Structure 1
């Protein structure tokens, strides 16, 4: 049991609106005894806070308890679960009894049940001891409505990050009447949290907390606290004299290094990539990059403009074309340009020997993407994830794995109509194998063909892949580009690598890569594509 004076200072609440909603509900229940409606017991006696871990649910409770000068009774799974029968129920009775004792003496009282999903799980997943605990808690909560106790200033608050994992009986009227979602902080709220946690740190004049906050999509308050701590550690390692604390100044590089180490906790267990690719890392494809900017970057960066004109952004973009032509690279660059979280899934990750596991991963990825918005969900090899019905590979019963994945994907994409800041990108080099349902309006609204690079594009790709190589004066990359017709971007990357290897084979002490090395490499390689193959990809039709 904890009194307000014993509590540590609460972490900053992630959302002021949520704080106001929770505070209003709690303060009214605790303090406004003269209000006739409240005396009749028509306000919620139980409040359920739910949301991802680290969003500040416990901090919200502590902040309101301090505001009301109330007594706080804490209940968590570690204190409830006992080894001997009956001890858990006894602990709950004593906790409620203590709260009523304080309330009877005129002091408002809050009973806070942390991680209630672990204490009162759904009936299908619980054991006999947990059934007794649930029954005891229901009895205690129903007892608070008795005439002898209805006048007492007491509120029961519970928190969970798995709201569907608790016993439904707890959510019936008269128990947890009010439910408040504690969401992931917005960019403005992340900035406020960073400013609070870094107020005692010395920041270099080049540190831009606004840009750091913008790059931390999906971070909750606890993640941002860990980020500040990790940035300070990187700055500490740079000190030559560890005793000179005044020299501890956090630079922008410390924050960047820290962000590489500390990711958003709620995305753990899901394939999430932090893309550092830019449009400049992709050679050629100028028109295609412009279309992707308008479809992906604009709706996220200029959402107000879209809303002002009543424009509905596209929800899905399908990239199709030959292998090795930068479809995946384009998706990552788009995510980086839009400063969006990037979730990537492939067929290999979704096909599992356990029935339903792939669909669960798909649903979980979309759930995390909603929480980490703005975000991009990217499906590589989309034809393996959403094949034409009847061609889905191994079966489980009468429905193939591919058909189950397709059904789940269609459901999730249709659900994006109510979501904001989430775009689905997919790539395939087998467009004819995709199910036609994906091409219906509201799903993949934009279909873009990614062609192999032309001569100018090949020149840009060669420049990108040789920017860290020392080239001989006789190397003419434009000439190399002209001689590599039908080469894909991946082929050209391999050509540059092979030219370097040719130079090393010739002389391990070579200090540059010369034209003859490129010519030797060119003669040893064959393009991945032919004219007929390119024409086949270019003529693909979806509708």
Structure 2
């Protein structure tokens, strides 16, 4: 009897004509067809070597047996189209199995014209777009299968041909078990660059895009103005340009390309896409002609839409290669019914000439989503099957400040992977237990108590359809470096399906960093308050400063109390100022930006100020956020003492902390050894509201520091730390750590030289460390800090 479990194959490229005819046939050797119980024309599922499902194809018999007998794994041949669709390359390892499922029928197929500029020169208008749409529909309805993100070509009369890319496929049958391949029929609606299809009765973008409701309404309003404008406006109509170009900008992953995708499906007569990758000609002049022809086409088919994604790559700030020709064409659109929508990360990244009246003059910024928007995005990504009550979405949204929609999707993806890893470990442990007990009982026949709360099938247990199975639950077992066939239930009938929990999200939140801070955030330090000796009072202080505004905001409002804007940490070197900032970053759940003040001083005019403004802008986007300035005196020293070295930086800092734009959800944490030279303006109330003095530790703190620094090290049991604590009166925490390091190295040196057992650290070693460590804090220094504290008495 033929086996039906997956069999391992090596992928080879099928040398076949380009096109969709037979593009999704899986060419398999006859003996492999028998092994898999497949017949010609059967549907088969292709699995990655790790067991994840890649897609589906039509089983077909291979006629070429070249090299099939010389390889350990049998070959399977796939077309270039199929390789691109499923992300495979020649040489990839896959497995396959027979599937019985209803193929979903596509209701709408959205195509983008990607015909090279050099094709059909002089004949672009010989065939109407409706004919190309009809020909595309005929091709898709006659081919066996097709998928999104693939490209195909169509030929017509006079040797004309076009190349189309399948951007999107809409189908209400997508839950039938074959989610990524489709068929078409005579009812399938074909959309080419937005023609022949509308997203709703209004022809505009309908529905809610997570976190972008206001931006969506603004975009729809401007598209409505162009679509509703008549060619001959009334004589008394106001002089108002309804087709002013729109520039959508924002961080990566905030939804710029998504809005363009939806805009492409609206009810414009023609939609054209221009981007850097569209310019495939060998010379710049030919590419410029391509741009002119695109704008000419848009003017000929009004009302039309021109979409330019990643405009900063097409017309960067310091490159005029294509900006001049685009500016000329934009000027020709004045008074027309042609709307241009472009996207970029920041308006500063594109050529200045393209911004202005008659060109791109309407700006739509896509912000980093707030907590409510993040919850809506997670509701969509997780789906009601996975998170029916929305508990996970609410919990994760509260811990993902500064995350974009793209970041959140990645967090969910990593969490799902964690869920399957946890599930597979549990599955194997249960199987091993059953084998050890020798009961021979299949895991599917466990008692109802064992399965309580888990569910009995894929659809009823709240598991997303795209959670795929790994190889260990796909009918194979990897042991001792080779594959063995085992008798275990297929994934579809396994009662123990993984469920997402916060346990799966914890490592995902650590792994995925927020886009809003990716350029400036450093690796969050693994420092807790327990690493700082005598930090109990500090911990309580920062709980009030950072936690109260989030947890007790209603109480603070009733007392008309506002959160602190800034906290100044001052004291001698080595007294844990930087370590305190790191503990704040690790223990209070805020985003954290750290910068040394000297790094902001740039010799180029305006660069330092721009860096400060950008830092605060990102912090506002990612609030709640802490900005930590180390060596603060280098940029905030008195303007009368240091000339103008950091004057502009200081002025910008003052404006950001107490300017017109509220500094909501952002705390500035600064550390300095020389508070007496700070500018008086930075010290006034409303900026640094709290001053925290970190001086040499007292006896209790020194005892804690010794305990922390020697934890896990071999110490003689008779060692008296009280003597060391008394001997280090006036030493800083850093100096005590140095004493412990010298003592430990002395013991290591004895062990290495003696070549015997580990030698413990003795009191003599610590005394040697005490002798070699000089106390740096003098009484004069302490007096200066005392004087500063007397002069500045903010709320403590």
TM-score by length of 2: 0.56
CA contact (8 A) 2:212 2:366 kept: no
Which of 423, 442, 446 is the matching residue for 2:667? 423
Tell me which protein shows more strand as a share of its residues.
Answer: 2
Q: Partners of 2:285 and 2:604 in 1: how far apart?
A: 38
Q: Partners of 2:660 and 2:526 in 1: how far apart?
A: 26
Offset at 1:524? 4.1
SS in 2 for 1:179: strand
* Matched length: 517
Aligned pairs for 1:234-273 within 5 A: 243-244=471-472, 255=505, 257-273=507-523
Offset at 1:55? 0.8
Which of 765, 774, 782 is the matching residue for 1:534? 782
CA contact (8 A) 2:564 2:689 kept: yes
Do structure 1's residue 25 and structure 2's residue 224 form an aligned pair?
no
Aligned residue in 1 for 2:758? 510
Q: Residue 176 and residue 308 in structure 1: after superposition, are their counterparts in 2 closer, same or farther (change >3 A)?
A: farther
Which of 171, 177, 180 is the matching residue for 2:364? 180
Q: Partners of 1:309 and 1:137 in 2: how far apart?
A: 55
Range 414-423 or range 169-178, more displaced: 169-178
Q: Partners of 1:14 and 1:514 in 2: how far apart?
A: 63
CA contact (8 A) 2:703 2:725 kept: yes
Range 422-431 or range 433-442, more displaced: 433-442
Which of 113, 131, 143 is the matching residue for 2:308? 113
Aligned residue in 2 for 1:131? 324
Structure with greater Cα Rg: 2
Which of 632, 636, 659 is the matching residue for 1:382? 632
Aligned pairs for 1:331-346 within 5 A: 331-346=581-596
SS in 1 for 2:688: coil
Range 128-137 or range 36-45, more displaced: 36-45
Which of 696, 703, 708 is the matching residue for 1:459? 703
Which of 644, 650, 658 is the matching residue for 1:414? 658
Q: Residue 476 and residue 229 in structure 1: after superposition, are their counterparts in 2 closer, same or farther (change >3 A)?
A: farther
Do structure 1's residue 330 and structure 2's residue 580 form an aligned pair?
yes
Do structure 1's residue 224 and structure 2's residue 400 form an aligned pair?
no
- TM-superposition CA deviations, 1:344-372 (whole Å, max 9, x none): 11134224455544333333322222222
CA contact (8 A) 1:285 1:453 kept: no
Offset at 1:382? 0.8
SS in 2 for 1:272: coil
Which of 160, 167, 179 is the matching residue for 1:7? 167
Quote the RMSD (CA, aligned, Å): 4.1
CA contact (8 A) 1:14 1:189 kept: yes
Q: Partners of 2:263 and 2:559 in 1: how far apart?
A: 41
Q: Partners of 2:234 and 2:707 in 1: how far apart?
A: 73
Q: Residue 468 and residue 323 in structure 1: after superposition, are their counterparts in 2 closer, same or farther (change >3 A)?
A: same
Offset at 1:299? 2.6
Tell me which protein shows more helix as a share of its residues.
Answer: 1
Offset at 1:421? 0.9
Aligned residue in 2 for 1:396? none
Q: Partners of 1:85 and 1:69 in 2: how far apart?
A: 30
Offset at 1:116? 2.8
Q: Partners of 2:648 and 2:401 in 1: how far apart?
A: 30
CA contact (8 A) 1:14 1:220 kept: no
Q: Partners of 1:526 and 1:26 in 2: how far apart?
A: 71
Offset at 1:477? 4.3
- TM-superposition CA deviations, 1:435-478 (whole Å, max 9, x none): 22211333222222222211122223333333443544334545
CA contact (8 A) 1:299 1:306 kept: yes
Which of 258, 269, 272 is the matching residue for 1:73? 272
Aligned residue in 2 for 1:395? none
Q: Residue 21 and residue 494 in structure 1: after superposition, are their counterparts in 2 closer, same or farther (change >3 A)?
A: farther
Do structure 1's residue 469 and structure 2's residue 713 form an aligned pair?
yes
Offset at 1:426? 0.7
CA contact (8 A) 2:254 2:366 kept: yes
Offset at 1:308? 5.1
Q: Residue 318 and residue 189 in structure 1: after superposition, are their counterparts in 2 closer, same or farther (change >3 A)?
A: same
Offset at 1:51? 1.2
Aligned residue in 2 for 1:296? 546
Which of 278, 281, 305 is the matching residue for 2:531? 281
Which of 330, 343, 355 is the matching residue for 1:159? 343
**Unaligned residue ranges in structure 1 (runs of 5+):** 393-398
Q: Partners of 2:396 and 2:768 in 1: how far apart?
A: 47
SS in 1 for 2:639: coil
CA contact (8 A) 1:300 1:421 kept: no
Offset at 1:381? 0.9
Q: Partners of 2:548 and 2:169 in 1: how far apart?
A: 41
Offset at 1:341? 1.5
Do structure 1's residue 490 and structure 2's residue 734 form an aligned pair?
yes
Aligned residue in 2 for 1:525? 773
Q: Residue 128 and residue 67 in structure 1: after superposition, are their counterparts in 2 closer, same or farther (change >3 A)?
A: closer
Range 353-362 or range 320-329, more displaced: 353-362
Q: Partners of 1:517 and 1:209 in 2: how far apart?
A: 55
Do structure 1's residue 317 and structure 2's residue 427 form an aligned pair?
no
TM-score by length of 1: 0.79
- TM-superposition CA deviations, 1:150-170 (whole Å, max 9, x none): 5xxx64322222224456665
CA contact (8 A) 1:273 1:344 kept: no
SS in 2 for 1:189: helix
CA contact (8 A) 1:503 1:513 kept: yes
